[in-house]
Amino acid sequence: MADTSFTLKIVTPTEVFFEGQAVSVVAPGALGYLGILQNHAPFITTVSKGDLIFRDPEGKTQTFKVEDGFLEVLKNKVLILTDKVQY
């Protein structure tokens, strides 16, 4: 089976909260939730308060609560800069 993962990094003002591989991300955007898979087109958007859900290459789904921030997709890397994140 082909590798469909990409790098996900979640950063707050005080720490790198998470850095690892994901196969899908669902994030709360200003206009609603958005989904990201491998080879997504590059873009930058705002993140709103809500649930950030991602699935790792082993199929495990994780959910974090995030506050306002920004999300960037570029060359199979997703960077989320948020004011606050928690389990």
pLDDT of the residue at 87: 85
pLDDT of the residue at 7: 97
pTM beyond 0.85, yes or no: yes
Q: Judge contact between 8 and 71, C-beta under 8 A.
A: no
Tens digits of residue pLDDT in 7-61: 999 999 999 999 999 999 999 998 899 999 999 999 999 999 999 999 999 999 9
Domains recognised in the chain with CATH numbers: 6-86 (2.60.15.10)
Q: How many angstroms separate the CA atoms of 42 and 3, rounded?
A: 20
Is the per-residue pLDDT at 3 higher than 90? no
pLDDT of the residue at 2: 62
Q: Judge contact between 42 and 75, C-beta under 8 A.
A: yes
